[in-house]
Structure 1
C-alpha cells in the first residue's frame, strides 16, 4: 500500500469518526431527561421556548438551551415572627410558617426574583392586617379560622407567580410581660368569681333541699292525720249504724263493755292490791255485767 493510499484511508476514517462524533453531540444536546421532582425552562435566543416535564424530552440542539431547573417539590419557608396590634390595642408577636410549591415555573422564573422573600413579606403584611381586625380573645379562640383566612389571602397574592400555597400555620402568639401579668390577674379574678358563684349555688341548693324535706314531712304528717281522722270517722259511723239498727240497748251495751274493760285493767296494775270503788260505780258495773250476760 502506497503512502497516498494510506493517507486516503485515514482521511476517510477520520470523516466517519467526525460524523459519528457530531451525531453523538447532536443526540446528547437534543435529548433531555428531566427528573420527576423537576421542571426545566427552555429558552431559544433568550426567549421562553417551552417547559420540559418529567421524563424524556427533545429540544433543538445548539438553538434551545435549558436556562432554569426548577424543583416542584413542596417547600417550607423558614419560621418568621412579626409584631401585630389587635383591635383592642394589644401588641402580639405572631410566629408563622408557610408551605408552598411551584406549579408554573415559567411564571416563577420571569415574574419574581426571590420567591421565599416575596412570600414572607406578603404573609407578614396579611397577618398584621387580619390580626388588626380581631380582639385578642378572638385571636386565641379562632386560630383555625385566622389560618384559613391568611392562607386564602396569600394564595390570591401569589397567584401571578405560579405558586400554590399548600398550608399556612400560626405556630405561636406571644404577648409582652405586662399583658401577660394583666391577663393572669384577670384569670385569677374570674376563677375567684366562679368559686363564689359555685359556693352560693351550693348554699341555695342546700336551702331548697331542706325546704323540700320540711314540705315532704308536713305533707306526710297531714296525710297521717287525715288517715287517722278517716279511721275515727269510720268507727263513729259504725257505732252510729249499730245504734240506728239496735237502738239504745246497743249503746248501753258498748258503755257497759268499756266499763268492764276499764275495771279489769285497773285490777291488773302492778301496784294495785286493793281497788276502792264508789257505790254508784259498783251499781253501774253490776248493770254492765247483767247486760253482758244477756248478750250472746
Structure 2
C-alpha cells in the first residue's frame, strides 16, 4: 500500500470519528447534559445537535418522563410497638437536568433511601390499626418530605404509594380472632334486636287488638243504651197516646159505662186467675158488691183524667 492510500484511510477514519463525536440526536422527552473540557456547557433538548469534536462530550443522559421506582421492603415499628414490613413505589420526574446531574450523585437511589427513612418515621407515629386506615395520609406525608428534599436535585416527586403491608403471623392470627369475635358479636346483637323488634310488634298488635275490642264494646253498649232509650221513649209515647184515647173515649156518650164494663170484666178475669193459681185466697170484704168496686175504680180514672 502506498503512503497516500494510508493517509486517505486515516483521513476517512478521522472524518467518521469527528462526525460521531459531533452529531447528536436527542430523543423526544429526553435531555443530554454536555460538558466542555470537563465543565458544564449546555443541556441538549429533543432534536439534532452538533458538538465540537474532542472538546464537547455528553456527560449525562436523562429522561423527562415520569419514572416509577420500586422501594424495597423494610421493617417499620408502629406506635404500639408492632413490627410490620412495608414496601411501596415512588413516582418522580426530572424537571431540571443540570441539577439532576450535579445536585446529587444518584437521585433515584437518594429518593429511595429517603422514602424508606421517612416511611419509618411516619409509621412510628401511628398505631397498627390506623396503618391500614390512613394509607392515604401516610402517602401524602412521604410525598411532602421527599418533594422538599428533592428540589435541589432538580427532581419533582409526584406521589408515593404503599404497595403492601405485611404483619407477623401472630398478629395476623390475633386480628383474625378479633374479627371473628366482632362478627359473632354483631350476629348476636342483630339477633337480639330482631327478637326485641318482634316482641315489640307482637305487643303493639295485642295493644291495638285490645283497643279495637274495647272500642267495639263501647260502641255496642252505646248502641244498646240508645236502643233501650228509644224503646222506652216509644213505649212512653204509645202509652201516652193510649191514655189520651182512653180519656177521649170516656168523654164521649156512653164512655163511662163502657169503662165500667171493661173494669168489671178485668176484675172478674183476674180474680178467676187468682183462684186457679193459689190454694189460699184473701177475699176482699166487698166481694159481693162488684159494682161498688167498679164504681170506685171508675171514680179514680175520672179523678186522674181531671
Q: Do the two structures share a fold, i.e. TM-score over 0.5?
A: yes
**Aligned pair partner of 1:177 in 169, 191, 200:** 169
- Asked if 1:108 is matched to 2:100, the reply is yes
- Which residue is 2:39 aligned to? 47
Equivalent residues of 1:242, 1:250 under 8 A apart: no
Q: Whose Rg is larger?
A: 2
Equivalent residues of 1:143, 1:170 under 8 A apart: yes
Equivalent residues of 1:243, 1:250 under 8 A apart: no
User: Closer, same or farther in 2 for the Cα pair 1:250/1:101, shift >3 Å?
Assistant: farther
Deviation string, structure 1 residues 146-185 (Cα, Å, up to 9, x no partner): 2222222222222211112233211111111111122122
Q: How many residue pairs align between the two structures?
A: 238
Equivalent residues of 1:31, 1:57 under 8 A apart: yes
Deviation string, structure 1 residues 59-116 (Cα, Å, up to 9, x no partner): 4455433222222233322341111111122111111111222221211111222233
- Which residue is 2:229 aligned to? 237
Q: How does 1:91-102 map to 2 (within 5 A)?
A: 91-102=83-94
Unpaired runs of at least 5, structure 2: 244-272, 275-306
Q: How does 1:1-296 map to 2 (within 5 A)?
A: 30-247=22-239
Cα distance in 2 for residues equivalent to 1:172 and 1:36: 34
Cα distance in 1 for residues equivalent to 2:15 and 2:242: 148
- 1:214 is displaced (CA, Å) by 0.9
User: Closer, same or farther in 2 for the Cα pair 1:182/1:250, shift >3 Å?
Assistant: farther
SS in structure 2 opposite 1:98?
strand
SS in structure 1 opposite 2:28?
coil
Cα distance in 2 for residues equivalent to 1:63 and 1:79: 39
Unpaired runs of at least 5, structure 1: 1-9, 252-278, 281-296
SS in structure 2 opposite 1:112?
coil
- 1:211 is displaced (CA, Å) by 0.8
Cα distance in 2 for residues equivalent to 1:226 and 1:150: 78
Equivalent residues of 2:78, 2:124 under 8 A apart: yes
Name the TM-score, length of structure 2 as normaliser.
0.69
Deviation string, structure 1 residues 99-147 (Cα, Å, up to 9, x no partner): 2222212111112222332111101011111111211121111222322
User: Closer, same or farther in 2 for the Cα pair 1:90/1:25, shift >3 Å?
Assistant: closer
